[in-house]
Amino acid sequence: MLGNLLDNALRHTPPHGRVTPTAGGGNESVTIEVADTGDGISPEHLPHLFERFYRVDAARDREHGGSGIGLAIAKALVKAQSGHITAGSNGPGTGSTFTITLPTGRDRL
């Protein structure tokens, strides 16, 4: 999951940009965030990012932007652990932030 988010952030952030992973948590959940200063995402694309084979840039093919399944797989893995994943951006050129929240499981002890 994290590898996919980092790969995407690095792919869509120019050399002078920044990719910032952070993590934190409490008794009930842990949150992992990958923020970048890259391409950004138009609001109309945000609801579809986790769909299989969806690509924001339709001109990209597998050789130039991935297969379009990485975020769908990440979502499935997060969901399988009773967590959730979100994406946010203020639009093109503003970067993006992907956030994974997973339960700690401490309530099961």
In three-state secondary structure terms, 63 is: helix
Q: What is the pLDDT of residues 79-92, one digit of tens each?
A: 999 999 999 999 99
Q: Which two tokens stand for residue 69?
A: 């399944």
CA 2/CA 10 separation, integer angstroms: 12
pLDDT band (50, 70, 90) for residue 68 = confident
Model pTM score: 0.85
Query: pLDDT value at position 29?
Result: 95
Q: What is the pLDDT of residues 10-66, one digit of tens each?
A: 999 999 999 999 999 988 999 999 999 999 999 999 999 999 877 676 544 444 456
| Contact yes or no for 34/97 (Cβ under 8 A) | yes
For residue 71, give the H/E element and its range: helix 70-80
Q: Which residues contact 35 (CB under 8 A, 6 or more apart)?
A: 9, 19, 20, 21, 22, 95, 96, 97, 98
